Amino acid sequence: MNKIFVIGAGIGGLTVAAVLSKKGMDVTVLEAQSYPGGCAGTFISHGYRFDAGATLAGGFYPGGPMDLVGQACGIATWPTKPADVAMAVHLPDGTVFERSTLSTDFSKIQTFFGQPGVEFFTWQQKTADAMWDLALKLPSWPPTSITDMIDLGKKGIPWALRRNIISILRDLFGRVADHLEQSNEMLRLIIDGQLLISAQTTSDFANATYGAAALDLPRRGVVHVEGGMGAISQTLVTAIIANGGKVIYKQKVTKIRFEKSDRMVIETKSGQKYEASQIISNLLPWNLAELLDENTPKHLRKITNKNIEGWSAFVVYVGLDGSGLSADHPLHHQILLKRPLGEGNSVFASLSPEWDRSRAPIGHRALTLSTHTNLRYWWDLLEKDIEDYAQQKNNLATSIIDTATRAIPGLSASAKIVLPGTPITYQQYTGRKLGWIGGFPQTNLFQQVSPRISHVLWQVGDSIFPGQSTAAVALGGLRVANMILNEPLP
């Protein structure tokens, strides 16, 4: 029998495993930790259930990525409740701009940003609709290789999707900033803040079509997940097991050996060996290359020979006394202090819902605060001077809490538990090399990493299109599952 192994129980790995097991395939997921979810996991500490990274869930609307994943793997209901306000964006002058879910309030946009704002969001929505439609319905979109081009040509593109491509042609190589020329600084700052968390770059660099789709997250329906974000992964794990698949925890994969070109052996830290006929890696390309060692194919080496640079996250987990907060206080906030964004100048804050008693002791809330940070800075600091590292960690945590107090009144005083985490923490808990998070900055739509490494080796997760976020990674997993199902068996 064709034995499929998935390395990593992040959202990408679990999605592909859930879909393939539903199709009757023999699938086993090997996970290093004792719980699933990776960056979208939830962990328990001091009586609070903290979201480890991702806090804002979207894509559950009918026909959306999570709905399609549910249909493909037999999940009838997800443990979610709709949210009214997707997030409140706090500007340096104290103005608060709320992004609602499922719709865009154009009269509010007119008041805040005038006609340039209306024109920007009209373009953004139209482009996002076309892009999401293409990503959901066309497996080879965006074409990144001659094979994809041939595939698109062979299968033919339905007329409705061709119309989508025509409507975004002008923007395929453009930047989001091209559509902000008439806008005021307030709108530019909001768009840059939102792009940084959804496309890992700002409007001067973000590809226009990708950026438009990434900015659409609130309109794609934000939900609250009961039990925290980790409940999405738990639901996928339950589906895999119900479909006859397996999820084995505490199995850190240390090596992939090739016995023959299509027969592989996976070795784990605990000394287990698993024979696999297909492997799907839910790891970063750099981590996968370490497991493959001398068997790393040339095209993967091209990526992994480059140094990892760029973003990680600095996170502060706070357990707080919530008695000063109203039950309907918005749960997600982005606080923008000043440019350059990141490094504490922009902070994302997510509170556990008051109604979710599983997340905190009665009257308390679990809060996750995060800011983008340069990963090299923390590794260099740790190497040079461990005391300085600890001091800087404390300083940034205190400053982030001060900043978040703008959105969560009284936070500095109500915080009972404060647990800061750096890129080093991310590497430790998610295995991601140097704690690199968020995938590649989306500057060029046609420079995407291929999920297909060979006919027996695939990758899923936020390094491949459509990139980061639980919804995007789940959609990526679904697309890869469909590719594998269409591929002749090894």
Q: State yes or no: residue 4 binds ligand FAD (CB under 6 A).
A: no
Out of 140, 200, 243, 370, the only residue in the binding site for ligand FAD (CB under 6 A) is: 370
| Residues numbered 22-51 forming contacts with ligand FAD, rule: CB under 6 A | 30-33, 38-40
Q: Toward ligand FAD, which CB reaches closer, 183 or 468?
A: 468
Q: Residue 437 CB, nearest distance to ligand FAD (Å)?
A: 4
Residue span binding ligand FAD (CB under 6 A) among the ranges 130-138, 200-208, 382-390, 461-469: 461-469
Number of residues that bind ligand FAD (CB under 6 A): 37
Alpha-carbon gap, residue 287 to 404, rounded angstroms: 34
Q: Residue 284 CB, nearest distance to ligand FAD (Å)?
A: 7
Q: Toward ligand FAD, which CB reaches closer, 32 or 449?
A: 32
| Residues numbered 97-136 forming contacts with ligand FAD, rule: CB under 6 A | none
Q: Toward ligand FAD, which CB reaches closer, 117 or 342?
A: 342
x/- string (CB under 6 A) for ligand FAD, residues 298-327? ---------------x-x------------
48 contacts 360 by C-beta, under 8 angstroms:
yes
Q: Residue 474 CB, nearest distance to ligand FAD (Å)?
A: 8
Q: Toward ligand FAD, which CB reaches closer, 288 or 411?
A: 288
Q: Residue 182 CB, nearest distance to ligand FAD (Å)?
A: 30
Out of 6, 9, 214, 424, the only residue in the binding site for ligand FAD (CB under 6 A) is: 9
Q: State yes or no: residue 442 binds ligand FAD (CB under 6 A).
A: no
Q: Toward ligand FAD, which CB reaches closer, 9 or 91?
A: 9
Q: Residue 469 CB, nearest distance to ligand FAD (Å)?
A: 3
Q: State yes or no: residue 253 binds ligand FAD (CB under 6 A).
A: yes
| Residues numbered 418-437 forming contacts with ligand FAD, rule: CB under 6 A | 430-432, 437
Q: State yes or no: residue 218 binds ligand FAD (CB under 6 A).
A: no
Residues that bind ligand FAD (CB under 6 A): 7-13, 30-33, 38-40, 53-56, 252-253, 282-283, 287, 313, 315, 370, 430-432, 437, 461-462, 468-471, 473
